[in-house]
A and B are shown apart, each in its own frame.
Chain A
Amino acid sequence: MALEDICRFKDRHHKWFPFSSLEDTDTSLYMMDYFNLRWRGLRTSEKNSAIPLDFFTPPSANSASFCLPNHSTTVRRPFPLSHGTTTLGFIFQGGVIAAADTRASAGGLVACPAVHKITPIHSHLVVTSSGSGADCMLWERILTREIRLYQLRHRRRLSIRGTAKLLSFMLHPFKGTEVCVALTLCGWDKESGPKLIYVCSDGARLQGDIFSVGSGSPYAYGVLDGGLKWSLSKDEAISLAREAVFRATHRDAYSGNNVDLFHITAQGWSQRKREDLKEEYYRDMEKRSKDRRGKIKRE
C-alpha cells in the first residue's frame, strides 16, 4: 500500500523469519501478530513476524512484535458457533440510539439468554455486534485497545470514521476465512456530531442514518422504516427501538430474551436498564385483547 511504501514497511510485508533472532519477543507485548493467526496455515512451531498491519502505528525503535505460536490447520468445531441476533442503530435529532437483543444461539440451542451485544468503546462510542459471538468479543477488545493506544500516543481521540477505517483494515486480512463479525459503531464525534457506521468482516464499511444487522434485521427494518423520523423525541425514539427489537424477536427464532438500549449524545453514552421482552409481549397481548374486546362490543 502507498502508506506502507512511505513508512518503508514493504520489506517486512512478505518475509517471515522462521528463526527470529532479530525479533526480541521478550519485551513487552506491543502488538499481536494477528495477521498470521490462521491465515498462512503454517505447520512449524517457530515464531514468525510478518506484520502488514503495523502501518497504522508509527515506526519506533523497539517495535518488537509479539508472535503467537502458530495454529495448526483448521480445528474441527465442536458445535455450531453462535450466530443470530437483532441489533439496530439510528440517528435522530436527539442523538444516536443503539439497541440489541441478548440471545446467543448455537445452532438450535440458546447458549446464553443474557449476552451483552452492545459494548462501550469509549465515552462517546458504543459498538453493537452480530455474527459470531466469540469473534465479536475478540475484535471489540482489539478495537478498544487500539483506540486507547491511539489516544495515548497522539493525545487526541480518533474520529468515528477513523475508528471504522482502522477496524476495517484490521479485519481485511481475515477476509475469506471464517471470521464473521458485523459491527455497527454508534457514536458522537466532537467535530461532526452523531455518526453511525457499519463495518463487517467482508470488508464493507458504510456510513448511514439507520442500520439493522443480524438474522432479525429484516423484521426490525420493517418497524423502523415506518416509524423513524428525524424529529422524534427521546422517549419516542427509545420506544421505537424497543418495538423494533421486540417485533424482530417475536418472529426470528435466533433473537430474543431481553433488549439493551443505549442512547448516545454529545455528553456521552447512557444505558437503559435491560428490559425483559416477555413483559413487552404480555403488554402487547393485553393491548390486542382489549382492542378485540372493544371491537366486539361495538359490533
Chain B
Amino acid sequence: MEYLIGIQGQDFVLVAADNVAASSIIQMKHDYDKMFKLSEKILLLCVGEAGDTVQFAEYIQKNVQLYKMRNGYELSPAAAANFTRKNLADYLRSRTPYHVNLLLAGYDDSDGPGLYYMDYLSSLAKAPFAAHGYGAFLTLSILDRYYRPDLTRDEAMDLLKKCIEEVSSASISRRFHLHYLHLFNLFHL
C-alpha cells in the first residue's frame, strides 16, 4: 500500500513517500519516485490509481509551469493547491474522475511553509502534518503525540523516522521498507 507523509516546521516542510510501484501482487519497481516538482518551491506528492496519478500530476505540473511562462512569476503554494483541488473537483463528477490522493508541500516567501492535504473527493485542508494510505492510520497518532509547531529539522527527521519504523513493522504486506523511502527536505530560507 502506498504511503505519503508530510510534516511542517517553522521554516521547512519535510515530506516522504514510499518507493514501490506495485501491480496487484507484484512489485514492479522499487525506486519509483512519487514526487512531482511543480516549481522551485512547490512539491506535489501523488498516490492512487495506476495511470491517474502520473496523468493528473503531470497535468498540474505543466499548467503551473505554463502560468509562470505566461505571467512571469510563479504561483504561490496556496494558489497551486487550490488550482489542483479545482481540477480534481471538476473531473469528480465527469465520466473520468481522477482517483488520486495528494500532498502539496510548498514554501511561500511571504507566508512561510505550507502543507496541503487533498484527497480523491477533492477536499483540501492546510495542515501542520498529514499522511495518506494505510500507513496513515498507524502514524497519525504518533504525529498527534509528538508534533510541535516549533520542531527543528532534526527533531522533525526523528519524528519522521519514528513514523516510518511504525509503518515498516506494522505493515501486513511488508512491502514498505525504510531504505526504499525517498526523503525530500524543502528549502532553506
Contacts and interface: CB of A to CB of B under 8 A. Distances in A.
Contact of B62 (A3, A172, A198): A3
Contacts of A175: 51-52, 96
Interface residues of B, number: 20
Nearest to B30: A208
Interface stretch (B20-28, B35-43, B111-119): B20-28
A221 to B, nearest CB: 7
Interface in B7-31: 21, 23, 25-26, 28-29
A167 to B, nearest CB: 12
B54 interface: yes
Contacts of B169: none
B50 A204 contact: yes
Chain A's interface size range is 20 to 34
Contacts of B95: 176
A206 B28 contact: yes
Contact of A206 (B32, B59, B62): B32
A203 interface: yes
Contact of A202 (B49, B65, B66): B49
Given A2-B59, A3-B62, A176-B96, A203 B28 contact: no
A205 B25 CA distance: 17
B51 A1 contact: no
B23 to A, nearest CB: 7
A205 B50 CA distance: 9
Contacts of B52: 175, 203
Q: Is the interface of A mostly helix, strand, loop or mixed?
A: mixed
A172 B59 contact: no
Contacts of B82: none
B63 interface: yes
A255 interface: no
Given A2-B62, A2-B66, A3-B62, A208 B28 contact: yes
A217 interface: yes
Contacts of B152: none
B123 interface: no
A218 B62 CA distance: 36
B29 A1 contact: no
A200 B50 contact: yes
A144 interface: no
A172 B51 contact: yes
Nearest to B31: A208
Interface of B: 21, 23, 25-26, 28-29, 32, 49-52, 54-55, 59, 62-63, 65-66, 95-96
Given A202-B51, A203-B49, A206-B32, 20 more contacts: A1-B62, A2-B65, A2-B66, A6-B66, A168-B51, A168-B54, A172-B51, A175-B51, A175-B52, A176-B95, A200-B51, A202-B50, A203-B55, A204-B23, A204-B51, A204-B54, A206-B21, A206-B28, A211-B28, A218-B25
11 contacts: A1-B59, A2-B59, A2-B63, A6-B66, A198-B28, A203-B50, A203-B54, A203-B55, A204-B50, A205-B54, A211-B28
